[in-house]
């Protein structure tokens, strides 16, 4: 079976996010001062061939740990569903 995973990789809350900070500042310039606290990470979509949703989730977890997220600086979360 084929599964789709939607993964979010975000900078840890304890770390500065200069890109997010710059965007927060820009919001004021474009007339959206109501917006703040912008943090920017990555969104990753991928597909997995697996016998079950549990196995697919294990594969995605492994991909996050080995390749997609740097756990020193980033946290990740994901959702797996049948594609």
With CB under 8 A as the contact rule, the residue among 14, 16, 30, 72 that binds a copy of itself is 30
The contact mask relative to a copy of itself for 47-76 (x = CB under 8 A, - = no) is xxxx--------xx-xx--xxx--------
Cα angle vertex 71, ends 62, 23, to 5°? 120
Rounded to an integer, what is the distance from CA 53 to the centroid of its chain?
20
Nearer to a copy of itself, 47 or 54 (CB): 47
With CB under 8 A as the contact rule, the residue among 18, 25, 36, 73 that binds a copy of itself is 36
- Contact between 45 and a copy of itself (CB under 8 A)? yes
Q: Which of 82, 34, 28, 30 is nearest to 56 (CA)?
A: 82
Q: Which of 49, 54, 53 is nearest to 2 (CA)?
A: 49
């Amino acid at each position: 079976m084929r599964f789709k995973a939607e993964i979010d990789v975000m900078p840890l809350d304890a770390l500065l996010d200069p890109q997010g900070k710059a965007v927060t500042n820009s919001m004021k310039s474009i007339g959206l001062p109501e917006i703040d606290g912008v943090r920017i990470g990555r969104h990753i979509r991928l597909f997995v061939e697996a016998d079950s949703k549990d196995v697919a989730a294990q594969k995605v977890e492994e991909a996050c740990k080995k390749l997609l997220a740097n756990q020193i600086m980033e946290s990740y979360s994901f959702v797996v569903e049948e594609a």
